[in-house]
Structure formats: structure tokens, C-alpha cells
Amino acid sequence: MIIAVDGPLAAGKGTISKALAAHYGLPHMDTGKLYRGVAYRLLAQGLSPHDQAAAAGVAKSLSMQGIEDEALRTAEVGAAASVVAANQAVRQALFHLQRDFALQPGGAVLDGRDIGTVVCPEADVKLYVSASPEERARRRQAELSAMGEEISYETMLAQTIERDTRDSGRADAPLRPAEDSHLLDTTGLSIEAAVDKARLIVDQVRSAKG
């Protein structure tokens, strides 16, 4: 069984995906980590995420070894990852990594921004997890604050809207729900409630498909 979970920044797709993977006994891939990994490597080398050739080169030989998860969650790396993700050569370089993971025996859970539309259009279950920009900005601000990175709510909201615009407006694999995806709005929901709704959707789809 392949479960594709898409959605914008801080909508809750990562948390939901991990919970689904644990519940159904499936491996999980946060595909956003790949793009953040490329961004991190570029910044560490003093290169610009807007340097398309450099970004493509890093993506083709990407190694996540030695990169701590916390380093990938900074605001700087997140903003750079959004720029890198609009690079078609980067997306092509990372596509096969994601496909190979999804097609392993037994299936997998993948979360990102184009899993149901591009990476795994044949996924058995597709979820599109969303929340209001205001809610997502509050969540992201709280996450960064817990990491010791202070940013105002107003700045975070502006960055959230800017990233949404860039992700949904890029020419290659824009952020959008697949036509057959099931929408899950997590605005105002607890983590437990959101996960329960996601599991219910998966179970209902599986039951309908026999």
C-alpha cells in the first residue's frame, strides 16, 4: 500500500505521515528532507540556492549523512529549500530516489508537495493536508522558538504566504491537491484528532477498494 500525503508548510503532513506509517507498519519518507538537504549543502558551501547548476550538482550526489534533523528545520534552510524545489533539474535528480522508496515491496508512506500528483500518481490513498496560513504560521513560529530561533508572527506569516505562492506557482510540479486526493483541514485540530481523521480516511478508502 502506498500512501501519498501532500500539503503546504506546517499543515501537519509530516506528523500525520509518521503516525500512519507506524500504524500500518510501513516505511516513511519525508521527501521535503531531500530538498532541505540540498539547500543545507549549498548554504554550507557558501553557494546560493538560486544557483541552479550548483543545486543540481548537489542533488545528483546528495548524501544526508552527517546532517542533523534540527539543522534542516531552520528558517534559513526552509526558505532556501523552497527556492531549490522550484529547480527542475533538482526535482528530476531526486525523483528516482522517491519512486524507488515508494515502490519497495509492501509499499510506503511518503509526504511532500507533489507525491500524489507527480511522484506516485498511482498511490492507493492520497491525502492533501492543509490549514489556514495563520494557523500554520503560528505552528512554525512555535517550532522555531523551541529551537531557539526567534521570529515575529508577522514575519512568519509573510514568509508562509510567500512560500505558498512560490510552491503553488512553480512551473514544475506545483503544490496542488491531486484530483482524487482526500482533503484534511487540520486548522484547530489537535495532533491526535488530525491523525484519527487521517486513519479513518485511509481505512475507508481501503474498505471501498476491497
Known binding-site residue numbers: 7-15
Helix or strand or coil: residue 26? Answer: coil
Helices (H), 86-190: 88-102, 133-146, 153-169
| Known binding residues for ATP | 7-15
User: How many other C-beta atoms lie within 10 A of the C-beta of residue 205?
Assistant: 17
Spatial neighbors of 18 by CB under 8 A, at least 6 apart, are 28, 109
Residue 38 CA to residue 135 CA, distance in Å, equals 28
Residue 173 CA to residue 84 CA, distance in Å, equals 13
